[in-house]
Amino acid sequence: MVTATATVPTGVRLKDKVCIVTGSSSGLGRAVALAFAAQGTHLVVCADLKYTPKSDFMAEEAGTPTEEVICRRYGEKKGIFVKTDVTVGTEVEALVQAAAKAGGRLDIMVNNAGIGGTENHGMVHEMTEETWDNVMNINSRSVFLGCKYACAQFMNQAPHESGHRGWIINTSSIMGLVGQAVYGAAYCASKGAVTLLTKQIAVEYAKHKIHCNCVCPGHLRTPMTQDQYQDREMRTAISTLTPWGDEWGAAEDVAKGYVYLASDDAAYVTGVALPIDGGYCAQ
């Protein structure tokens, strides 16, 4: 039910577009889903293993599922949840089909789900094969699957009124551009794979007017980094790596980059790995 607090979107940059955001229940994915809905989307399909936020840390309207926040703010059926294991091809395919059925088409695919916990850190000679495989499976294979089934849907539907068929935005990382000891080999390799997959798809599908870009966030205050941020020594050590200094980024600031890449403002943009990192990669 739509409550009395439902309001009109604050913008129209994504007016009437249908989008999927994976890893949408918390952190950056939640911020992206809410930012998209605020720009006039017809439907935001929120995909995750659980619809409830994994943590209240830095969470907007903590405790309320992302799709419910969207519906409260912008109207009934503006957001839906589809439980999805993004490492399983049949589930990702079903997710894309569910979005196309509910929204009439699919315009934007955000492959954001991923992991990066401290349990996956460590030097290569100390890392188990199971850790490597798990991180690559969740952070890289899932993006391949999202791109695969989104591209299939884009190719089989009429172009958007702009003449373009679809927009893919993958979540990479500054560690997908440079190496860093803090996050370890598996995480860096998995995000590096996302960056190069993004560029390859951009080149291969440009003739079909399908955009593929990725965002490379720096150190953000999200549930995924909660332990690091709340450890004063670790927070200080990471802060010194960024020209911005003692301030970590907010998910809401990074989400604005996703809005841009999904909008007509980026009509001639594809194959970009966009750092939003307080100047980290400029060093």
At residue 274, the pLDDT reads 98
Q: Of 10-19, 59-68, 160-169, which gets the smallest average pLDDT?
A: 59-68
**Could you read off the pLDDT of 202-253 as tens digits, one per residue?**
999 999 999 999 999 987 766 666 666 666 777 776 777 888 876 777 889 8
At residue 222, the pLDDT reads 66
**Could you read off the pLDDT of 117-170 as tens digits, one per residue?**
655 667 889 889 999 999 999 999 999 999 999 999 999 999 999 999 999 999
Q: Which of 56-70, 78-92, 176-190 has the highest mean pLDDT?
A: 78-92
Tokens of 133: 């495989």
At residue 215, the pLDDT reads 98
Q: Is 187 a catalytic residue?
A: yes
* Catalytic annotation, pick one of 74, 187, 205, 280: 187
CA distances from 19 to 104, 133, 166 (A): 11, 29, 10
Residue 211 forms part of a structural domain? yes
Cα angle: 17, vertex 23, 268; to 5 degrees: 40
Looking at residue 252, which CATH number applies to its domain? 3.40.50.720
| Percentages of the chain per state (helix, strand, coil), in multiples of 5 | 45, 15, 40
Residue 76 forms part of a structural domain? yes
Residues across the chain: 283
The range of the structural domain enclosing residue 235 comes to 18-271
At residue 206, the pLDDT reads 98
Residue 46 CA to residue 27 CA, distance in Å, equals 13
At residue 4, the pLDDT reads 43
Residue 237 CA to residue 249 CA, distance in Å, equals 15
CA distances from 4 to 35, 73, 122, 156, 195 (A): 21, 9, 50, 39, 43
Residue 51: band (very low, low, confident or very high) from pLDDT cuts 50, 70, 90:
confident
Mean pLDDT of the chain: 89
Nearest to 17 by CA among 198, 195, 211, 214: 211
Between β-strands 166-171 and 210-217, what pairing exists: parallel, antiparallel or unpaired? parallel
Residue 68 forms part of a structural domain? yes
At residue 220, the pLDDT reads 76
Residue 171 CA to residue 33 CA, distance in Å, equals 13
Residue 186 forms part of a structural domain? yes
Residue 260: band (very low, low, confident or very high) from pLDDT cuts 50, 70, 90:
very high
CB 120 within 8 A of CB 170: no
Residue 257 forms part of a structural domain? yes
Residue 9 forms part of a structural domain? no
Per-residue pLDDT for 46 more than 90? yes
Residue 170 CA to residue 239 CA, distance in Å, equals 25
Residue 1 forms part of a structural domain? no
Tokens of 34: 């809410």
- Count of H helices and E strands in the chain? 9, 7
Residue 56: band (very low, low, confident or very high) from pLDDT cuts 50, 70, 90:
low
Count of domains forming the chain: 1
Residue 280 forms part of a structural domain? no
Which residues, in sequence order, are bridge partners of residue 166? 210
Per-residue pLDDT for 26 more than 60? yes
**Could you read off the pLDDT of 171-206 as tens digits, one per residue?**
999 989 998 776 789 999 999 999 999 999 999 999
CB 190 within 8 A of CB 139: yes
